Every structure is written in structure tokens, then in C-alpha cells.
Structure 1
Amino acid sequence: MTDVQNNTIQFKHIAPKIPSLVTNLHNVIKGLVLANQTNPDKNHGLAWCIERAVKRNPDGIAIKSDQGAMTYREFNQQANQVAHFLLSQGYQIGDTAAVMIDNRAELLICVAALAKIGVAAAMVNTAQTQKVLAHSINIVKPKGVIVGSELHQSIDDIRDQINIEQDHFFVVPEGDIPSVEGYRNLLAEASNSPRHNPDESKKVRRDDPLFYIYTSGTTGLPKAAIFKNGRWMKAFGTFGFIVARLGKQDTLYSTLPLYHATGLVVLWGSALAGSSAFAIRRKFSASQFWDDCRKYDATCIGYVGELCRYLINLPESPQDKQHNVTKMIGNGLRPGIWKGFKQRYGITGVHELYASSEGNVGFSNIFNFDCTVGFSPMPYAIVKYDKEADQPIRDEQGYLQAVNKGEIGLLIGEICPKAPFDGYNDPEKSKACIIENAFKKGDRYFNTGDLMRNMGFRHAQFVDRVGDTFRWKGENVSTTEVEHIVSEHGDVAESVCYGVEIQDTNGRAGMVAITPKASVNFDPNKILSHLQSELPSYAIPVFVREQQQLQTTGTFKYQKHTLKDEAFNPEKVTDKLWALLPGEKAYTQINNNLYQKIQSGDYRF
């Protein structure tokens, strides 16, 4: 095995990969130049990329969806009309507009239009409502709101809580809906505007904000990460030219929400780099996924989170390899299903990546190794970390210490001209993410909050989020490791691990929520021997919860905060619950009486 059998990469693994890069040397050089441009006066950004793709492939398909297909020329002309109209309404470089539209072509048209005139698009999560939605809009101080007619009720509910002039509420109708009361029809009012590229698109610079991408906040309210045009170019150059390597004949199919950076930046950017078609779907459907790939003639797919697990849990079919998809780009593919997924669906290239909306360091699997987030040319370090103290370890001189090859530590990215940290719109939140004087006086690093294994040759393997590690029996338990092991069992469709508190005990006991495979009569004791053979005793989940479907975010991340809050309390949970009581060899189902005994200390965990 040429990847990570011993969790390290050696030159003998790299050498066979070099010829493929040499063959693609022209694109590699172009990608590196675009990604590493630091001139703040350079006219580069999303608008530049769109107009480049139009010149290269004007009559090629830009967007495919259930609404039909649109060429690059048609897409660009509609975006230009919206851009010219917004200019006439007083929008200018430096302004912000909140955008809340489902995955459809009009969303990308509006984002492109805003990019062309230097207006930042605040990409609002379409699932947000009420207090959270009002907070997300208010923190970026937008000049206007652009909402899809399918979501206008969510805006109506909080309209009196946001400080926007009434004539700057725009709607993008869908289907036969001509208008929505109280909103201006953006596309209708822009329909008579000029179709040529606005002059403003040539004035946009790399340091101008392009998007606000929302990330989870520790208080439960989202934070708005600033995403500048320069960061777009880094992704465009790296993923588009070095990783994806798509061409005019290719179609990249994505079901990921476009308010998230993976879908909007990595996947759409990769399609634009190749002047390729970008096929989108409103929401992910496992049962329709491969049918869509065949319908759109997809050659590449995007993925994130547990999407691949949903697909591999589908019943096997003779059609599993009857498609033209050869590669996939995304993040979060679990090592436990990595090779099985490739083999079942005939995928030859898994281009896993690592990045964050607010961070300044990224990895991409350009050499197509298994079970790694890949390679990074950015200045970074993986340093020793004290999980119990929840902070990196400093030596006697007060400096951080890099881990050795094969070891696990905290990933930090150096803040420098090559890798700036744009941060959040809240300076205090940005400051909290910065580590100063890491290796020398005056240096500054971004704290990713992620534990990585140093694999050598500037490769890494994702291990865990710092916050997803809990301590039990004096040992650190990795939730990711437990999830991998649990999900390997044949009865398990998916699982999520987390730590829960038991009264009068130290640390947190492990708990796992499991969704069994269809038609399985779930019994946690069937998997207990598997857990005992694969996990140390302290990492074996003390509690098990059976769920028919695990709750996830729009990007397939598990909603652990709810699971932690409900824990193993039968008064809060209608699902079946089990406990591995001290001294017992099997799980016992929890009822109210047993719960009270556990919490009153009748059992010494």
C-alpha cells in the first residue's frame, strides 16, 4: 500500500506520482502563479475568473440543473444585467448584500453580479430562521437583501429586526411566480440593463471582500468570516489547475449547499478554471445521485461530510459503475470507507482537501494518496498539544515545538503576505484565533483548532477537532477514531460519538448515536465484541443511542450540541438508550429507574 499504512509518506511513494505532475506542468505553473500572487493592485478575483471562462468557452455549458442548461455567454450576460442594475441603485465597491437563495442558477448569477461590482455577498445559510437569521444579516451590515421566493417567509419573519431600507429588499422569483409582495423583482427590473461587462469589474482588487461565509460560533450564533478575492484566487489556482484539472468537455456535479465554501469556492471555482459545466441540485438525494450523474454526464463529483457514507449504504446495483465519473473533490471522506467507495463506484481519483472558511492554510491531495488531506505549499506547523490543558505546549524558552514525522499535533498556519489571515468581521473573534511568538518573537500563527498527523513530505492526515476530544478514565478519547471503528460494523449505517457527563465522575463518558442499516434489528451487544477488539477499554462507548436518522447541518456535519444536551436521559430522548454498566459484559437498556440510579451514584463508573 503506497499511502499511509504506517501513517507516513516516504520518497518511494512520491516518486511514481511525479510524472503525472510533469505532464501537467503547464497547468501546475499557471495554478501556482495565480494562487501565490500577492500584488494587492492586481485585478484578480471571481469576476476576472468568470470573464476568463466566457472568453475561453462562450457557447459551452456553464450551469446544468433541473431548470435546464445555460451557456457561459448567457450566464455572463444575465449577471452583467444584474450588476448594471445594482450600480444604478447606488451599490459600489465595499458594500455588502445578504444573499439567501436555494441552489439554483439564479444564486450564482446574483453572486457573480455582486462580484463584478465589488460588492461582498453574505452567503446566508438557507436553513436559518428567526433570531439566528437576524443576527447573521445584522453582523455584516448589508445595504440590501436578495432572497429567493422560496425563502422569503424567513426574511418576512425578521424584517423589522434588520436595518435595511425598504426599497433594498429584492426577490428572485422561481417558476411562474411573477412577484412577492413587499419585494422588488431583481431579475425583472434588471432585464433592460446592459449586457456587457461593467467597467467596475476591472477595478476589483485581491484585497476587496468577495464573500462573507458563516461559521459556527461558540455562543451558538454564527460568525461571519471574510473571504477576499485573493483567497478565491488561491483556491482557483490550486484546486482548479493543480487538483481538479477539468476541461471544456467536463461536468462537475455538486449537491452541496452553495452558501458553504466547499461548494461555492472549491467546486464552482474548479469548474470555472476548466471552463467546464457546473451541475447543481437543490438538495442532496442519495437515491437520485448517480441518476443525476448519468443525466448530466458528470465526470467529477463534489462531496463533503457523510455524503459518501449515504451513497455506500445504498443497495448494490449493476449500475454502480455505469457512469463517467472518474474523480471526486471534497473533504471528510472517512478512512473506513475510502477504498471501498472507490472500488464500488469505479472512482480513480479522490482529491480530499482541507481548508476552512476563515483559515489561512489548506491542503489538497494532488498526489492522490489514500486517507490523507494531502499536501500544502503554505507555511504551517504541526505542534505538540496538551489536550488536558487545551493549549499548545511551549518549551523552556517559551516557544512551540513541532511534532516528529508520524506524530499528532495542533495544526497552525503562519500569518504572512503569502498566507494572510482575513479573519472575521468581529476583531475580537479574529484576535482569539491568533497565536503570537510561536517560534520567534513577533511571529503570528492562525490556530486551526484541528489535530493533524504529520505524515512527512508536507502531507497530513486529519485526526480530530480539538473540541471533539474528551477525557475519560484519565485518557483522551478521539471521537473521530471511535466513529470510524463503530461505523465499520456491518449493522451500522452511520454513527457519531461525543462525551457526556455523569454526576460525581471526572471527565466525560463516551456515548455514540447509531443509525442502523435498513432492515437491521439493532442490538448494541452485537457490535460490542467488535468495539472491544478494536478500541482500548476507556474508549468503548459507555452509552449507546439508536436513531433512525442522525441530525445534520446543510453540509452534513452532525449536530452534536443537541445530542450532548439530551445525553442518556430517557425523559429527553424517545430513542432507545443503553448503558454498559460497571462490571457488566453487555449493554443494558436504560429506563427512568436506571437513569436515576446512574445519576445518584449507585454505579461506580
Structure 2
Amino acid sequence: MSQDNVSARDIVRSIPGIVRRFPSIAKGYYYYSVKNEKKELTLGTLVERNAEKYPSRPAIAYEDRSLTWSEFNAWANRIANFLLAQGLVKGESIAVFLENRPEILAVVAGAAKIGVSCAMLNTSQKGKVLEHSVNLIKPRMVVVGEELVEPFDAVKADLLTRHRTPFLFLADTNTLNIFGDAPEGYVNMAEKVSAHGGTNPVLSNPPKMGDTAIYLFTSGTTGLPKAAPGSHRKFVKAYGGFGLMSLAMEPEDVLYCTLPLYHGTALLVCWGSVLAGGSSIALRRKFSASAFWDDVRHYNATTFGYVGELCRYLLNQPAGEQDRNHSLTKMIGNGLRPSIWKEFKDRFGIETVAELYASSEGNIGFSNFFNMDNTVGFSTAPYKLVKFHEGTRDPIRNKKGYMQAVRKGEPGLLIGEITKKWSFEGYTQKEATEKSILRDAFKKGDAWFNTGDVLKEIGCGHLQFVDRMGDTFRWKGENVSTTEVENILDGSGMVEEAIVYGVEIPKTNGKAGMVTLVPQNNGSEFDINKLFAYLKKNLPAYAIPVFVRVTHAIEKTGTFKYRKVDIQKAGYSLGKSGEEVYAWLPRTDGYTKLDEKLVSEIDAGKVSF
């Protein structure tokens, strides 16, 4: 198969593999297609089903610790009963601020059992961004891990919570029986939970499939993070679509997950797939390229969750005899670039790449069901690829006001039709939800979700990801809102004007953040590293601009709009006289002024961002 084509012959070649996993596919299609929002099919019932069916099989592995499905379910029940004792009821929410460890899954499962939703806070957030995210939800309580108490304490006084003892502490001990000591102002959650029973809660009004289970935070298109509600149905769809139809997970499977569990790819896709097979999820706190294969061998992992950047890091490791000395045969995730797809599969002996396309808030998803190369697969949801204004996420409308589909093979803005079956859950903020909806696109009264992403068809209904458009770009596996970063820059008191955008760096995935700025003219000399310290305090590391262009003026159009496309094309190249370009180089704690030699090294891929 060519890099940019899926043919009918390729589909036919995949049929024997599909026949072999037909029972799993048929079962998966049932769960993927369940429509009854009132059905008592939820994250909690999926966990309980595995505890009944596979009580002694491992559910979670972490470092030297392993929990069976029976043990995990009992733990989740104790958490559910604790939350009930705290007065929480169906329809309310808590926020979760924990790094990857078993406690995060137990809290989410326990809350889900009683209809309490979990807002999954990004552990990289701090300062104003973290405060904003918590206050979007106004949770009854917040669960804080020992590893994150310091950034949380910095915003605690400004949070809008609704409980007399809202802050719950979980010590970082990796054991059920050692509770640690809670700091002042926190309740020791593990200690309190241990006093409750481990039987499944019996409720007069249990949660239903259509109820909200989680909130995932996304940069969306503009501004500070938005909270996207995710119903139990999203877990059920991942259970059927990814776990059974794409991966055919079994109880013997182990999925190794280093992706952060506050992300939909890890929490919904990876864990949902594990739930489907009665399989085990092996967690690591943070991804390590050097430790990856040792971990895989330690856990006997058969599957792993990925983003494209992770795969590139693994390929950048020196090749060796151990590259195929492992049990991995399957992988699921997004962002694997066509330029490294075949090389990654061949080097590491991967058979199935279940590449997918989805978004936390969106109503449309694609899955590489046929295991084709270089594609996010196909979708049964109604969608169009339409013409758009370059450098924006805005579709082009014709003289009648309607949108125009692109020709086959041409890049187009992906939009998904909003219907009763393919509903758009949107955000907690109605205004933000409305901004993502395109109305009267092809006829009066229709409505479509604007993904803001550009894809192209490569044959047989299969799409390939091209780029993220508009005011959001992706770096280090995270979505970065340009407006969010600009707002933080505005608050520094050091910048008169700033425009933020993403630029490509050779041999990296996604786009690195860059800002072109005009310093504040207040008589004092501009201090680039004072600005860096401020950004580090108020932004997660992935959102801090990698490059900074300092200039005297930013060119605008006759209608006073920034020439963003032209600025973006210039990238980090050395510009006109009087301009300076800086880079945040790897393993440094500040900006370094670029010269021609450094630019050449970055262009040649010699600097490992």
C-alpha cells in the first residue's frame, strides 16, 4: 500500500484477520451501538462485571504492586461509600488532581458507581490556569495527591468548592494500608475510606449511561481550558469500539499506559479497552524512553497506548538486539506520522496499529478497524471535509452561504453532523459550545461540530490526519491554546503586544509554541529570562513558548488584523535587523539567543526538543 492510498485490495487482504476476531467484533458492535441513554450500563457496572467474571485476574499493575479485579472493585466500593457518607449525591462532581497511579482509577470508578462525576485536572497546570479549571466545575470536593500539594496549595484559597471539608489528601505510598499524614487543611482520604465497606452500593436512583461520568479539560479553540463533559456512554463506546472491535482484548492482555490519565486517550480509550477484555492496565507515572522496553518485559505487556511523540522518542533510542525481545503486538492511540509508521512497526515487530481520531468534546471519531497503514481509519458517523480559510479553522461559504466539500484526496476541515445519535456534548460553558457549532452548513437548520482539524481521504473512506488549524496547536501530546498563552503573557506586565502560534521543528511531532512580542516600553530593559520565570510559574511546561521573537512592531493588515500566516511561515529563522530570536533549549532553565549556527543545528534535527 502506498503511503497515501487505501485500496479495495488492501481491505480484502485484511478480511482473514477480521474473520478470526469476528466474535469480538460482533460483541463490540453491540456496545458501540447501544442507544438507550437510560440503560444502567455505566463505568461502575463494567467494573463490577469484571469483578464477577474475572475476580482473580489482575486489573492494575503499578511498580511492584498488583490488584485483582475483585480487589479493585472492593476498593472502588469503599470510595463510593465514603463519598456517600460525605453527602455527595448523583449529579454532583469532585475534582481529581493525581498523577498516574492506581488511586486515580479507583477514585474515578468509585465516584462513577454513585453517579458523581470526576473532573480530571491536568497535572501540569498551575497558577491561574489551575484555578480557572477547578472553578469551571465548582466541585463539592477535590482529591489531591501528595505529589501535587505544592501547586495546589498556591491556588487553594481562591477555589470555589461546596463542602465543609472540601480538600481530600492521598499520600503517595503505593500501599492500601499506609495512609501517611495529611497536611493542615486536608482530610486524609485513604484513612477515612478504609473504614467503609467494600460491597457494591445499592442505590434507589443509580446512574445511567447518558449521565456525566467525567470532565476532561481541553484547550478547545480559544481562551483558557474548557471542561468537556463525558458521559458513561463514552466509556461504553470505547469498550466496544476500541477494546473489542479494534484490539480484541482478552483477559491475558496487559496494556502498558504511560499517557496521563487526565487525557481521553488514556482514560477512555486505553482503560476502556482494558475493561472490555477483563485485561490489566500497567501504569507508569511518566513516560521514559530508556525504561519503556524494560517495563514492557517486566509486565509482559501485549498492548500499549501511544501518542505520536512517544513513538518518535522510542525510535530515537539506539537500535539494539533487544528491540524485538518483548511481547507487544498491538498499540492504540493517535498521531503516529506516516513518515515513521512502517519504520516503527518493522523495528519493534508491531502487528496491529489501532490509530484513532477523536476529541474529548467531539461527536465524531475514526478508528483504524482494518489495520491499514498511515490512516486514522474510517467512521460510521456522518461527516464532511470542507474548504477552509488558510491559517484558520473557519470554513469557506459560497455565495448562497453554504459550505463546499473538497475533492477526494484534498485536505479539508473535518466537520461532524450533529444528530440525535451523534450528539455533541460540548463544554460546560454554553458560549464555548455554540462557538464550536456550524449552523446552516449545507441546508437550513442543520448543525455540525467544527473539529478545527484538517484531514484528507486516502481511499475507501479512510482518512489521514494533516494538521490542527486555527488558535490551537499540539505539542508534546498536549493541545495548546494560543489565546490562553497570550492572556498569560498579557498578565506579565512585560509585554505590549504578543501573538502566539505553533511552528514545526524537524524530527519532532506536532508544533512547538512560538511568540512574537513587542516588549513593554516602560523605560527598563526587557529581561527575557524574567519573562521565562513568569511563564514557568503560570503555564504548564508544554505550553511555554519554545521560541520567542522580540521585535519593535508586529505587522498588521489594513483592518488591523495580524498577518499570522506570514509570521508563522517565518518560524524561528533569524529576522530583520533589530529583532532577536530566543529558544528554550532542552535541559536548560531559560531562553538562549539564537545565532546562525544554532538555527542550522535545529534545522538539521540535532537539537532533541
- How far apart, CA to CA, are the structure 1 residues paired with 2:502 and 2:220? 20
Separation of aligned partners in 2, 1:353 and 1:72: 27
Q: What residue is the counterpart of 2:387 in the other structure?
A: 384
Give 3-state SS (helix, strand or coil) of 2:322's partner.
Answer: coil
Matched, 1:90 2:78: no
Residues 225-280 of structure 1: CA distance to partner in whole angstroms, max 9, x if unpaired?
A: 11111222222211111112111111000101101111111001111100001000
The answer to whether the aligner puts 1:80 opposite 2:77 as a matched pair is: yes
Indicate the larger mover: 249-258 or 7-16: 7-16
Q: CA deviation at 1:403?
A: 2.0
Q: Is the 8 A contact 2:515 2:545 kept in 1?
A: no
Residue in 2 aligned with 1:369?
372
Whether 1:463 aligns to 2:459 is: no
2:314 to 280, 289, 311: 311
Which residue does 1:294 correspond to in 2? 297
Q: Give RMSD over aligned pairs.
A: 2.9
1:563 maps to what in 2?
Answer: 547
Q: 1:31 aligns with which of 28, 32, 39?
A: 28
Match of residue 118 from structure 1: 115
Q: 1:282 and 2:279 equivalent?
A: no
Residue type at the aligned position of 2:366: F
2:180 to 178, 181, 202: 178
* 2:198 equivalent to 1:195: yes
Task: Name the structure 2 match of 1:538.
Answer: none
Instruction: Give 2:180's aligned amino acid.
Output: P
Distance 1:127 1:166, change over 3 A: farther
What is the DSSP-based 3-state SS (H/G/I as helix, E as strand, rest coil) of the residue aligned with 1:62?
A: strand
Equivalent in the alignment of 2:564: none
| 2:250 alignment partner in structure 1 | 247
Contact 1:209–1:226 (CA<8 Å) still a contact in 2?
yes
Amino acid at match of 1:168: P
Does the 8 Å CA contact 2:513/2:546 hold for their aligned counterparts?
no
Distance between the aligned counterparts of 1:256 and 1:498, measured in 2?
21
User: Residue 200 of structure 1: SS of its match in structure 2?
Assistant: coil
Q: 1:435 is paired with a residue of what secondary structure?
A: strand
SS in 2 for 1:319: helix
1:405-455 Cα shifts (integer Å, max 9, x gaps): 211101001111221100000000000000011122211100000000012
Alignment-mate amino acid for residue 150 of structure 2:
Q
Q: CA shift at 1:24, angstroms?
A: 2.0
Distance 1:255 1:297 in 2: 15
**2:251 is the alignment partner of 1:230:** no
The one-letter amino acid of 1:402's match is A
Q: Does 1:340 align with 2:343?
A: yes
1:451 aligned onto 2:454: yes
Please say if residues 221 and 471 of structure 2, whose CA atoms lie closer than 8 Å, have aligned partners that are also in contact. Answer: no
Report deviation, 1:102.
Answer: 1.2
Answer whether contact 2:170 2:179 (CA < 8 A) is retained.
Answer: no
Q: State the shift of 1:495 in Å.
A: 8.3
For 2:114, the aligned partner's letter is I
Taking the aligned partners of 1:178 and 1:301, their CA distance within structure 2 comes to 32
Q: Given the alignment, which residue of 61, 64, 70 partners 1:64?
A: 61
State the distance in 2 between where 1:219 and 1:404 align.
Answer: 29
Q: How far 1:32 sits from its partner (Å)?
A: 1.7
- Equivalent of 2:594 in 577, 590, 604: 577
The answer to whether the 8 A contact 2:134-2:160 is kept is: no
2:167 matched to which residue of 1?
169
Compute the displacement of 1:9 (Å): 2.1
Q: 2:427 aligned with 1:424, yes or no?
A: yes
What one-letter code is carried by the residue in structure 2 that aligns with 1:116?
Answer: K
1:150 aligns with 2:130: no
Question: After superposition, what is the alpha-carbon deviation per residue over 1:79-131, rounded to whole angstroms, capped at 9, x for unaligned?
Answer: 00110111111111100100011111111111100110111100001122222
Q: Deviations over 1:467-499 (max 9, x none)?
A: 3899xxxxxxx989x65xx32xxxxx7784678
Letter in 2 for 1:207: G
CA distance in 2, matches of 1:494, 1:45: 35
Q: Write the letter of the residue equivalent to 1:59.
A: S
**What secondary structure does 2:269 align onto?**
helix
Letter in 1 for 2:35: T
* Residue deviations 1:516-564 (CA, integer Å, cap 9, x gap): xxxxxxxxxxxxxxxxxxxxxxxxxxxxxxxxxxx9x999x95474535
* d(CA) in 2 for partners of 1:382, 1:87: 47
Q: How far is the alpha carbon of 1:144 from its aligned partner?
A: 0.5
Q: Which runs of 5+ in 2 are unaligned?
A: 474-500, 519-535, 551-571, 584-590, 603-609
Structure 2 CA distance for aligned equivalents of residues 127 and 498 of structure 1: 16
The verdict on how the C-alpha distance between 1:500 and 1:571 changes in structure 2, with shifts beyond 3 A counting, is closer
Deviation of 1:565 (Å): 5.7
Judge which range, 284-293 or 32-41, deviates more.
32-41
Partner in structure 1 of residue 134 of structure 2? 137
Give the alignment partner of residue 12 of structure 1, picking from 4, 9, 16.
Answer: 9
Specify the code of the residue in structure 1 equivalent to 2:74: Q
Distance 1:201 1:184, change over 3 A: farther
Would the aligned equivalents of 1:118 and 1:201 in 2 still touch at CA under 8 Å? no
Deviation for aligned residue 1:325? 0.4
Whether contact under 8 Å (1:304, 1:331) holds in the other structure is yes
The AA in structure 1 aligned to 2:306 is Y
2:493 is matched with which residue? none
Paired AA for residue 269 in structure 2: V
Q: How far is the alpha carbon of 1:169 from its aligned partner? A: 1.4
Structure 2 partner of 1:474 = none
Paired residue type of 1:122: A
Query: 1:346, CA displacement in angstroms?
Result: 1.1
Q: Does the CA contact (< 8 Å) of 1:254 and 1:279 recur in 2?
A: yes
Aligned mates of 1:282, 1:211 — CA distance in 2: 21
Q: Does 1:47 align with 2:49?
A: no
- When the two structures are superposed, what TM-score results if normalisation uses the length of structure 1? 0.80
Q: Is the 8 A contact 1:252 1:299 kept in 2?
A: yes
- How many Å apart are 1:77 and its aligned residue? 0.2
Q: For residues 461 and 48 of structure 2, what CA distance do their matches in structure 1 show?
A: 34
Shift of 1:172: 1.3
> Cα–Cα, structure 1 residues 351 and 468, in superposed 2: closer, same or farther, change >3 Å?
farther
> Partner letter of residue 131 of structure 1?
K
Matched, 1:206 2:209: yes
Are residues 201 and 119 of structure 1, via their aligned partners in 2, closer, same or farther at CA, if it must alter by over 3 Å?
Answer: farther
Q: Distance in 2 between matches of 1:134 and 1:389?
A: 29
Q: CA deviation at 1:182?
A: 2.0
Aligned pair count? 517
Amino acid at match of 1:178: G
How far apart in 1 are the matches of 2:441 and 2:413? 12
Counterpart Cα distance in 1 of 2:142 and 2:337: 38
Distance 1:131 1:554, change over 3 A: closer
CA distance in structure 2 between the partners assigned to 1:390 and 1:339 by the alignment: 31
Query: Which stretch shifts more, 395-404 or 184-193?
Result: 395-404
Tell me the equivalent position of 1:523: none
String of CA shifts for 1:145-175, please: whole Å, max 9, x gaps: 1111221222222221012234121111122
Question: Percent identity between the aligned chains?
Answer: 45
